[in-house]
Structure formats: structure tokens, C-alpha cells
Amino acid sequence: MNTYIDTFLNKFTTYRFTLYYLLAIYIFALIFCAFGALPFTIKDLLTTFIIAVIVSYISNYVMAFLFKASRNIESVFITALILTLIIPAFQDEYTFIFFASGLAMASKYLITIDRRHIFNPAAVSVAAIALLSPTHVATWWIGSVYMLPIVVVGGLLLMRKIGKEKMVYTFLKTYLILTIVALIINKVSISTAISLSILNSPVFFFAFIMLTEPITSPSREKMQYYYAIFAAIAFSTPELKIFNIGFTPELSLCGANLFAYIINPNYRVDFILEKKEQLSKDTIYFIFKTRNKIRYLAGQYMEWILPHKKTDDRGNRRYFSFASSPTEDSVSILVRFPEHSSSYKKALMNLQRGEKITATELAGDFILPSSLNKTPIVFVAGGVGIAPFISMIKYIIDKRIKTNITLIYSNKSQGDILFKDILKKAEYYGVKTIYTLTNPDENYGWYGEKGYINQDLIKKHIPSYNSSMFYIAGAQIMVDNIHNNLLQMGVSPKQIKEDFFPGYIETKA
């Protein structure tokens, strides 16, 4: 069942799936309006959305032009839909949606640090207007028992896609605990508490959509727990006031966004192409330089943004792991270019020396443990999935760290094997490499391992697999298969780490 769900989710980028999810909610809302289940007319709900889209689009276009920045049209519709779903769709609130839409787009460019917006655009715009004009209040009408099923079902799918289930569950658990405590203290009946805090509450929409925005939430898993707990406390205690201002959902989120930035600051970096190296028939090694040295951990990744003409439906953003070590002055990534590439990869392939590409959202917990000698480590790489491991191995070599690591490296042919010189050098520091080819018939004279990585291969080369830590990176299908094989072998899930990109899409482009 999970395979079918993942196959479905992998057809969409994160932005595209979020957009479709919000559109589905909006369409259901229109249907419920037709039956009188919601307090708006279809006309009012349609008008509110149209105003939000038009104003958001124009505001975003103007701000992007003034700041000479790239535009993401999907984010415009996402913000417009969020505002439509939390601002009451009455005629006398049209000015509210008008100014909130314009301010939301402007906040992405004006309220920034290192060109990264700190606050969720929809939340900060609604909060600002409510503070300036208390008569305009976001009711978060999406918190309705009628809307609950579509919000929860779509939200669970979105969480599976972006991999932030633990963060959302931590938020919801903390919220429920605080709600139960409040119920006991205030002696509220169970039926009333369930209706107000769950069935007719925006808590699920807040958790699935607002809390998880990539740019304004922490990238590291440990920090996500703190962020989720902080947000849950603020969201659950609207009666608490600072300077006589209560914690509305939008203010709770803004506070959590600020907290996230303090504990896990992120930034936006312009990389200048310094060199391109063709490492195999379909793989290119990109080397970039920056004005200021970027701080990251070996094995981490960033979201790389490359605006280009005739952008296809996969958009202008991709996640790439660093293939360089933090000890190097330059930064590099490894990219595979299939025969039929996306518009993004075509633009990247045509990038010339001295041209710019922007990266943001430094993230990833796929990093070396603090102690490399306590537990045997197994790296499992498929194709260009070698990138984060090369980052780690370069770091080990540069820092002269003695390790106990076995790398199982799978490729189709001998010509696809990359970084042989680095892997040879790493042997001195305890990194042993096992090569296997999936198309051995095409590799005359190959005397290494043949076939896909399976249980027999792992048992043959990793006799201590039950006590080893496994790191897996490569195509999602390969990662899932190896993960399942390890579980069948009795390896604990806690001993397995996977290189995860939010919104990863398993395609040939």
C-alpha cells in the first residue's frame, strides 16, 4: 500500500502537491457553501479568492521586479488560497483580503534576513492587519467539522511527501496534552472540548500547512521538535497575553517562526559557476565559488533555484547534496543528465562559467555521527547517490580521521563509477569500498560483485550488520528496497539513515 502511495506522491513537486491539496480544500468549501454548511455564499467565496489571486500576483510581480528576484507562480496561488481559507469571505471583508494579499507578498521581500523571509507570509500579513485594525480578524473558518476530513487526509499525504511527520505529530501531541489539562482545570465537558479543540478547530490545517512551510521552519530534526513544542504552547494558550495582545493562530505561528530562526538560522546564497567536469557519459560535476565561505556539515543539501525560460511543470527548484567537503574553499554538486532532461536540468547543463545559481534551505540530518569509532558504519550508494558520501569521505581525508566504514557502491557499468581516486585514498583512513555492477554482461573483464545490492551481498561483506549503522542514498526505489531488506535481516530501524529530500520525485529528468 505504501508503495502505491509513494508512487502517486512522487508524481508531484512539493509546491505542486501543496497547491492541489489547497485547491481540493477550496473546492470542497464551495460545495459545502452550496448546501449551506458554511456561512458564506459561493459568490463571496469566489470573489474573495479572485481578489486574493489578482492582488497577490500583481504584488509579487512588482516586488520581484524591484528586488530583481525570481518569481514562483505556484507560491502566489498557495498564499492566495491560504488567505482565502482563513479570512472570512463576507463582502465587508473584501478590503481585508485585498490588503492581506498585498502585504503577504511584500513580506517575502521586505521582512528578510540574508534574503530569507522570516515569517510565514500569510500569517504575518493577517497578524499585522489585525494589530493595526482590530475589527479585521482572521476567523480561520477552515476549522470546521465539514472541512476536517479533506484537511486531514490531504495533510497526512503532504506530511508523507515532505517527511515532517515527526514534527507535526509532536505539535499535535503537545497540543492535545495542553488541551486535556485545560479541560480538567476549567471543568469543560468532554463533548464541548472535542468540538472546540478538534472538530471545529483549525489545528490540523495549522499543523499540516502553516507550521511546515520549509523556509520558515527548522531544517534539522532536533530543532523541529523544539519548534513544534513552542508553536503548540503558543497555539494552545490564546488567553496568555504579551503587551495585552493574545496568541491568535497567526501570531502563534509568527512567534514560532522567529523562534525557529533563532535556534536554526538559514540563509540564501548566490553561487558562481567556476568549473564543470564531465565525469561520465551522463554525469557532470559542478564546482562553484561564493563571496563568503558557506558553513555546512558533510552530507547536507540545499535547494538550488535556477530561473529559466519555458519552465516545465517540474519548476525551477531542485534539491542537491553537496559533493564537496566543508573543508574545501569551493562548493560542488553532482548531477545526472538523462537523455530526456527537464527544463531545469537543460538550463543547468547550459550554465556557463561566471553565471549565478541561488541556493537556500540548508538542511539534512544525513551526516556523520559525532564519534566515528564507536559503531561500524556502512555507506550504501547507488549512482549519483555517492554525492553525500563523497562529501563525508573528503572531510574524513582532510581531517585525517581514522574510521571503520564500508562503502557498498552500485552502478550500471564501469564507466559510471565515480571518484575512484578519492575512494582509493580513503582506504588509508579505514574506508573500504565494495563495487557492484547491475549490468555485468556489458562489462567484460569485471571481476567485482555483480547484481543489485541484496541481503546476500550485505551478509557477505558486512558480517557485523546487526551492530552496524547503515546510511543509504540513491534512487528512492533502491533506498526503499535496501531499507526493507535490512529490516528483514533484523536490523533495527534506528540503525538506518536515509538521504531524504523534501518532495523528492523519482523520474528520469
> Is the predicted pLDDT of residue 2 greater than 70, yes or no?
no
Q: What whole-number distance in Å separates Cα of residue 123 and Cα of residue 72? A: 19
471-499 pLDDT, tens digit per residue, is 999 988 899 899 999 999 999 999 999 98
> Is the predicted pLDDT of residue 29 greater than 70, yes or no?
yes
DSSP three-state, residue 14: helix
What pLDDT shows up at residue 443? 60
Q: Is the dihedral of CA 15, 16, 21, 26 positive or negative?
A: positive
What pLDDT shows up at residue 442? 62
Does the residue 208 lie in any domain? yes
Mean pLDDT of the chain: 91
Please choose, from the candidates 83, 103, 107, 79, the residue with its C-alpha nearest in 3D space to the C-alpha of residue 15.
79
The total of structural domains in the chain comes to: 3
Residue type, 339: E
Interval 68-76 mean pLDDT: 83
Strands 377-382 and 356-363: unpaired
Does the residue 369 lie in any domain? no
Q: Does 165 share its domain with 189?
A: yes
Q: What is the dihedral of CA 139, 144, 147, 149, to 10 degrees?
A: 130
Q: Does 156 share its domain with 37?
A: yes
Q: Does 415 share its domain with 482?
A: yes
Domain hosting 25: range is: 2-263
Q: Does 468 share its domain with 391?
A: yes
358-405 pLDDT, tens digit per residue, is 998 888 889 999 888 778 999 999 999 999 999 999 999 999 999 999
DSSP three-state, residue 307: coil
Q: With bands split at pLDDT 50, 70 and 90, how would you rate the model's confidence at 246? A: low
What pLDDT shows up at residue 220? 83
Interval 251-258 mean pLDDT: 94
Q: Does 382 share its domain with 277?
A: no
Cα dist from 343 to 10, 149, 301, 307, 356, whole Å: 18, 37, 21, 10, 17
Q: With bands split at pLDDT 50, 70 and 90, how would you rate the model's confidence at 505? A: very low
The grid cell for 225 is 521538535
Does the residue 368 lie in any domain? no
Does the residue 506 lie in any domain? no
Q: Does 254 share its domain with 289?
A: no
Mean pLDDT is highest, among 3-12, 40-49, 181-190, 234-243, for: 40-49
Q: What whole-number distance in Å separates Cα of residue 8 and Cα of residue 502? A: 15
Interval 339-352 mean pLDDT: 92
396-450 pLDDT, tens digit per residue, is 999 999 999 999 999 999 999 999 999 999 999 999 999 999 986 666 678 889 9
Please choose, from the candidates 459, 508, 453, 502, the residue with its C-alpha nearest in 3D space to the C-alpha of residue 479.
453
Interval 43-49 mean pLDDT: 97
CATH code where residue 406 lies: 3.40.50.80
Q: Does 87 share its domain with 178?
A: yes
Rounded to two decimals, the pTM is 0.82
What pLDDT shows up at residue 476? 82
> Is the predicted pLDDT of residue 266 greater than 80, yes or no?
no
Does the residue 154 lie in any domain? yes
Q: Does 321 share its domain with 412?
A: no
Percentage of the chain lying above the pLDDT 90 cut: 69
Strands 469-473 and 449-450: unpaired
Q: Does 243 share its domain with 286?
A: no
Q: Does 35 share its domain with 124?
A: yes
143-155 pLDDT, tens digit per residue, is 999 999 999 999 9
> Is the predicted pLDDT of residue 452 greater than 80, yes or no?
yes
